[in-house]
């Protein structure tokens, strides 16, 4: 496991979302961040979009949670995909370098890799408090969000 990928580490990064707006995770301190690492050719990634959209809807009135999708896919491909498959996360295209450098685990040969889809929850201090893979991992995300907002006295 890379040092940046362990529970408790803080993998900050900056990038542009699909709309060209800058996203800097350090600017979200004080908010809970839910990250989804994905790409459009991943069947499980595509399958879970509707479930993740429902999670965004559940927290739509909560100003203290941010949903970010870092996609390994290229911007033009994402734009076409999202026309038919709307995703309510703020999507960062061309995110391969962020995914590998910030979330990659070294394999036996030392090369970094990331299983997809992967979910992270960062607390209000930017620390990873939950990491889970796949559609089943969404339950861990839901549980951690509930924990984060119980700590703060509700959904803000």
| Reduced 3-state DSSP string for 96-111 | HHHHHHHHCEECCCCC
The domains of the chain, with CATH numbers, are: 3-141 (3.40.30.10)
pTM over 0.75: yes
Whether the pLDDT of residue 14 is over 70: the answer is yes
What angle is formed at CA 120 by the lines to CA 11 and CA 132, rounded to 5 degrees?
Answer: 130
What tens digit of pLDDT does each residue of 110-127 get?
888 889 999 999 999 999
Q: State the average pLDDT for the chain.
A: 91
**Residue 4 in this model has a pLDDT that exceeds 50:** no
Give yes or no for a contact between 16 and 116, defined as CB atoms under 8 angstroms apart: no
Q: Point out the least confidently predicted range of 60-64, 126-130, 152-156.
A: 152-156
The answer to whether residue 6 scores a pLDDT higher than 90 is no
- Specify which of 11-15, 79-83, 97-101, 134-138 reaches the highest per-range mean pLDDT: 79-83
pLDDT tens, residue by residue, 77-119: 999 999 999 999 999 999 999 999 999 888 778 888 889 999 9
Euclidean distance between CA atoms 134 and 150, whole angstroms: 25
Q: What is the pLDDT of residue 84?
A: 96
């Amino acid at each position: 496991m890379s040092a940046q990928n362990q529970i408790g580490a803080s993998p900050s990064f900056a990038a542009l979302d699909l709309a060209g707006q800058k996203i800097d995770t350090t600017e979200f301190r004080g908010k809970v961040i839910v990250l989804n690492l994905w790409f459009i050719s991943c069947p499980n990634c595509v399958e879970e979009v509707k479930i993740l959209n429902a999670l965004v809807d559940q927290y739509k009135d909560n100003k203290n949670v941010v949903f970010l999708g870092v996609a390994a896919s290229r911007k033009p491909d994402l734009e076409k995909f999202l026309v038919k498959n709307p995703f309510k996360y703020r999507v960062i295209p061309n995110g391969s370098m962020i995914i590998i450098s910030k979330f990659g685990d070294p394999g036996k040969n030392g090369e970094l890799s990331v299983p997809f889809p992967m979910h992270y929850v960062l607390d209000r201090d930017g620390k990873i408090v939950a990491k889970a893979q796949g559609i089943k991992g969404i339950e861990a995300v839901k549980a951690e969000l509930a924990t984060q907002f119980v700590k703060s006295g509700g959904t803000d």
